[in-house]
Chain A
Amino acid sequence: MLDLMLRSLLIAGLASLAVVAVGVPFARLLARRRGLWAELLSTLVLLPMILPPTVLGYVLLLLIGRGSPVGQTWEALTGSPLVFTPAAAVLAAFVAALPFLVRAAQSAFEQIDPHFEDVARTLGRTELDIFLRVSIPLARRGIVGGAALAFARAMGEFGATAMIAGSIPGRTQTASLAVYDAVQAGRTADAGLIALLLALLSASILFAVGRTGAR
């Protein structure tokens, strides 16, 4: 049980780190760009929010399956397929969680008075420096809030994970999947315990993040 919870935490945690690393710069880019490409990119990133998880999983399966270029490259490099590994579970959680951060961070970046960034430019700062020292601190609340939502989504990820990572006990099975398996197998006490732990864990992390973000 401890093993299952730790694995879930690790998968959701790694996915959330990747979401922040990719999503924050991406949100900043979208916040200041207008036009067809920006709209298209924005729609593409938000798509996992509205697609059925099974469709998302199917698309990912096409992209990283053993027959795909990504899957083949991975297999050539590591000697084993990407599908049905913990890495695939991280990927599923990442794709499902990314839109939550991007939406929140983009709106936080859009709300920054452009004069702050303009002043920083006239003070000799590079765009990267401005991003790190002005934009991120000023959008901090939105970023932290978005990251908390993304983490919650990653912990709860089910459909896409089932399709590309499967539910291999001790390897790719996360708490959300374990609940389903336990119910299917008639182990209702197990299901209840996992559900309770999952809820408590997610809620306490959200609570902690909320407290830090509010300061």
Chain B
Amino acid sequence: MNGLSVDIVARQGDFDLQVAFDTSAAVTAILGPSGAGKSLTLRAIAGLLRPERGRIVLDGRTLFDHPQKIDLPARSRRVGVVFQGYALFPHLDVGANIGFGLVGSAAERDRRVQELAALVELDDRLEARHSELSGGQQQRIAIARALAPRPQLVLLDEPFAAVDPALRQRLREGLRALLAREGVRVLLVTHDIADARALAERVVRMEHGRVVATGGVELAGG
């Protein structure tokens, strides 16, 4: 099947997660209040949290299958992640951050870093440290870093949580254009209806560790 298929049961501490959804949309939003289990779902898909049971299949590739004892490590999943705080490596400059996941010759890596830096319009800041950059620029670097190794899926965890509301609208538009150009499948986790409406084609609504509805953007309400 083309797309992402998730059907898992996971547990962390007292929290009990039971999530099932399928999507073949280019951009899917997991929408729900904080504490709904959105970020845990994202961690499970990325391979950073091991579910107790279930299956995760991405474009026909099994990432996790409990009965078959398949559990690809995060490094082999080809799933990129952009965390809420971006987690840009503070000891590396912009270029080294973007290129962190690249393999191959130095020339190849340089070319890909240049390409992505140009894509996020930061090709003149390759030697900057992230502390010298604005929140929006940091976000773009984190996205470029996730895209660099050509993942099959990119997970965005509350991409605008760290940005002030005035900037959000502009960043959403920028992000939408960027994702469309790179043509990568995206799963976006957000508590903000406006994010889902602006970016997603498909919405998965979560509450209390369960999926309560799946559908088009009309599910985002508003």
Contact = CB atoms under 8 A, between A and B. Distances in A.
A and B together in one complex:
yes
Interface of A: 113, 115-116, 118-126, 133-134, 137-138, 140
Given A123-B101, A123-B149, A118 B81 contact: yes
B83 A119 contact: yes
B209 interface: no
Interface in B63-112: 73-81, 83, 85, 87, 89-91, 100-101, 103
Chain B interface helix/strand/loop/mixed:
loop
Of the four ranges (under 10, 10 to 19, 20 to 34, 35 or more), the interface on chain B belongs to 20 to 34
B145 interface: yes
30 contacts: A113-B85, A113-B87, A115-B85, A116-B87, A118-B43, A118-B81, A118-B83, A118-B87, A119-B83, A121-B47, A121-B73, A122-B46, A122-B48, A122-B74, A122-B75, A123-B101, A123-B145, A124-B75, A124-B76, A124-B101, A124-B149, A125-B75, A125-B100, A125-B101, A126-B75, A133-B100, A134-B89, A137-B91, A138-B91, A140-B91
Contact of A122 (B77, B89, B90): B77
Contacts, number: 60
A123 B80 contact: yes
Q: Which of A124, A125, A126, A134 has the most CB of B within 10 A?
A: A124
A23 to B, nearest CB: 21
Contacts of A123: 75, 80, 100-101, 145-146, 148-149
A118 B47 CA distance: 9
A5 B158 CA distance: 59
Contacts of B101: 122-125
Nearest to A125: B75
B91 A119 contact: no
B87 A122 contact: no
A118 B74 contact: yes
A116 to B, nearest CB: 5
